[in-house]
Amino acid sequence: MLLHFYKMTGAGNDFVMVDNRDLSLTPHLDAETIEALCNRRFGIGADGLLAVEPSRGQGDYRMRYYNADGSEADMCGNGARCFAAFASALTDGDLGDISFETAAGLIRARFEDDGNITISLTTPKDLQINVLPADDTVLAPVHFINTGVPHAVVFLPSVEDLDIVEAGSYLRYHKAFSPAGTNANFAAILNPQHLQIRTYERGIEDETLACGTGMTATALLHAALTDAPSPIKLDVAGGDTLSIGFKRDGLNFTDVTLTGPALFVFEGDIELTGEIELEQH
Ligand SMILES: N[C@H](CCC[C@H](N)C(=O)O)C(=O)O
């Protein structure tokens, strides 16, 4: 079966996008196939796959997100921006601002005049300051919050020379976060409203160039720890700077938004059976 796909990037976090509005692709969206499609040497290559599916009652659509290892996750912040742009393009932009269901809850997307997209995230939960014992740190105390998916966050003087696979995988697989595991974010404070962040992602099992829910988690924990006001900017490994907005009452956050780019890179067709017949021209 030939699959028509689009490739998009949200600040360097990149995705295979598929139109599954008629649900015809569902039998093919198994973990093995998704892992093969996301493989950077034998497939299209991506951090994950996003499928546009019919709404199940809320919002205009349903968003399904799968990591590169084929595991399905409840939410993806950079992916949500790409999803909004893709879903809008599929309907010739007639819908204007759109909303879509995710396993984490309803997400709203606003298309900004400068081409960026603002995502209204679900209410964060399970915020924990110093979530690990004082003697169990990763160069500094570890904090936690769920911004649609689980995130551990560590603030360091610098993240430039960090061995993020060693530090990230330690937290990702730490017993404190089992059995689901967690993503791991490491941030340096450049000024009260500007951070530099690097993220090790669950399900990619490596550093990604940006992680939307991770930068959100990091911004909110920074605000909780330092009273920094909204918005907070974050420089990500891919070179972009994105913005997190929020309202805060103590450790309770509402009206959380993530603003950043979503770009189309290419489109193509791929044979799901793996053997591509080159047409004789
Ligand atoms: N790897 C994450 C999901 C994708 C998060 C990230 N790509 C984002 O932009 O939020 C997890 O399994 O929890």
Question: What confidence category does residue 93 fall into, taking pLDDT thresholds of 50, 70 and 90?
Answer: confident
| 279 has pLDDT over 80 | no
CATH number of the 2-116+263-280 domain: 3.10.310.10
Question: What confidence category does residue 11 fall into, taking pLDDT thresholds of 50, 70 and 90?
Answer: very high
SS3 133: coil
- Stretch 228-250: mean pLDDT, rounded? 98
How far is CA 69 from each of CA 9, 30, 88, 188, 259, rounded to the nearest angstrom? 18, 11, 27, 29, 27
Check residue 281 and give its pLDDT: 66
- Alpha carbon 249 to its chain centroid, in Å, reads 25
Q: For ligand 1, atom 5, name the residue with the nearest CA.
A: 76
- Stretch 86-114: mean pLDDT, rounded? 92
Q: pLDDT tens for residues 54-70?
A: 999 899 999 999 999 99
| 240 has pLDDT over 90 | yes
Question: What confidence category does residue 107 fall into, taking pLDDT thresholds of 50, 70 and 90?
Answer: very high
116 labelled ligand-binding: no
| 277 has pLDDT over 80 | no
Residue keyed to tokens 């941030």: 187
Whether 38 is a known active-site residue: answer no
Decide whether any atom of ligand 1 lies within 6 Å of the 77 Cβ: yes
Decide whether any atom of ligand 1 lies within 6 Å of the 213 Cβ: yes
> Does 125-260 match 2-116+263-280 at the fold level?
yes
Triad 272, 87, 275: Cα angle to 5°: 10
CATH number of the 125-260 domain: 3.10.310.10
Q: Of the given ranges (74-83, 128-137, 223-232, 233-242), which has the lowest mean pLDDT?
A: 128-137
- Alpha carbon 71 to its chain centroid, in Å, reads 13
Decide whether any atom of ligand 1 lies within 6 Å of the 236 Cβ: no
DSSP string, 6-65: EEEEETTEEEEEEE-TTSTTGGG--HHHHHHHH-TTTSS--SEEEEEEE-SSSSSEEEEE
Q: pLDDT tens for residues 144-169?
A: 999 999 999 999 999 999 999 999 99
Check residue 92 and give its pLDDT: 82
Considering the candidates 76, 121, 209, 232, report the single residue annotated as catalytic.
Answer: 76
| 1 has pLDDT over 90 | no
Whether 76 is a known active-site residue: answer yes
146 labelled ligand-binding: no
| 278 has pLDDT over 80 | no
Check residue 276 and give its pLDDT: 63
- The reported pTM is 0.96
Can you give the residue ranges of every domain in the chain?
2-116+263-280, 125-260
Question: What confidence category does residue 275 fall into, taking pLDDT thresholds of 50, 70 and 90?
Answer: low
Contact (Cβ atoms closer than 8 angstroms) between residue 93 and residue 273: no
End-to-end CA distance of the chain: 21
| 26 has pLDDT over 80 | yes
Residue among 148, 153, 112, 156 nearest 260 (CA): 112
- Stretch 115-120: mean pLDDT, rounded? 97
Check residue 51 and give its pLDDT: 98
